[in-house]
């Protein structure tokens, strides 16, 4: 019996030496990288997991500026995946600056209601419908929005024939760093 126990113990020990277990060999060899270039080293890239928001995952926390039409209503945008809103719009001006954001599904601000439904969500293509209710219970109108990243530029279009091209931006939208007299934060505004 004692010889059998010693033999089993030797087999067990030798099998432990033969296995080459390396638990953390791949740690940080392939970190998750956002489109902005920021690497999240604590998360390994998951190639077989679909998280439901491909565009927002890839372009999470990216900033874009409409450099050709900078004085439009909202000349800069930021996509978010983990925040309460998925897109923030900025119009930074010396006198009055504006910021607002939209979240998926129902949005209500100051008694005005709208609903946002995602239609197409791919790595570089993102479409959604904006159903405007106003103060009624019926949809007054619907606008389809399309964002598409082509050659590193964000192309925007909508069903009202608006077209804009946004360039990657490294601006800092921290309240303390914006040189403006007044900041108006509308529904869903997300400053850094």
Strand extents, DSSP E, 135-170: 141-150, 153-158, 163-169
pLDDT tens column, 70-81: 555 567 888 888
Neighbouring CB atoms inside 10 A of 184's CB total 12
Cα separation, 100 vs 88, whole angstroms: 6
H helices of the chain, in order, are 2-18, 54-58
The structural domains of the chain, with segments of one domain joined by +, span: 52-185
Cα separation, 98 vs 74, whole angstroms: 8
Helix (H) or strand (E) holding 132: strand 125-134
pLDDT tens column, 138-172: 999 999 999 999 999 999 899 998 888 888 887 76
Closest CA relative to residue 115, chosen from 100, 99, 88, 134: 134
For domain 52-185, say whether CATH 1.20.1510 is its number.
no
Neighbouring CB atoms inside 10 A of 64's CB total 23
pLDDT tens column, 74-119: 678 888 887 778 888 877 776 777 778 888 888 888 888 999 999 9
Entry pTM: 0.64
Task: Give yes or no for a contact between 190 and 80, defined as CB atoms under 8 angstroms apart.
Answer: yes
Percent with pLDDT over 70 in the chain: 67
């Amino acid at each position: 019996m004692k010889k059998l126990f010693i033999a089993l113990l030797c087999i067990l020990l030798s099998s432990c030496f033969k296995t080459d277990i390396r638990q953390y060999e791949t740690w940080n060899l392939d970190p998750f990288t956002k489109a902005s270039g920021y690497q999240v080293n604590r998360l390994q890239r998951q190639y077989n997991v679909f998280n439901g928001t491909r565009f927002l995952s890839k372009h999470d926390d990216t900033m874009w500026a409409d450099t050709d039409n900078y004085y439009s209503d909202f000349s800069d945008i930021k996509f978010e995946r983990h925040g309460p809103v998925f897109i923030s719009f900025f119009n930074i001006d010396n006198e009055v600056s504006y910021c607002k954001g939209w979240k998926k599904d129902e949005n209500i601000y100051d008694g005005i209601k709208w609903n946002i439904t995602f239609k197409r969500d791919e790595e570089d293509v993102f479409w959604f419908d904006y159903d405007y209710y106003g103060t009624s219970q019926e949809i007054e109108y619907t606008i389809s929005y399309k964002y598409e990243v082509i050659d590193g530029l964000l192309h925007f279009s909508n069903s009202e024939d608006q077209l804009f091209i946004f360039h990657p931006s490294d601006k800092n939208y921290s309240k303390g760093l914006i040189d403006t007299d007044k900041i108006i934060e509308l529904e869903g505004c997300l400053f850094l």
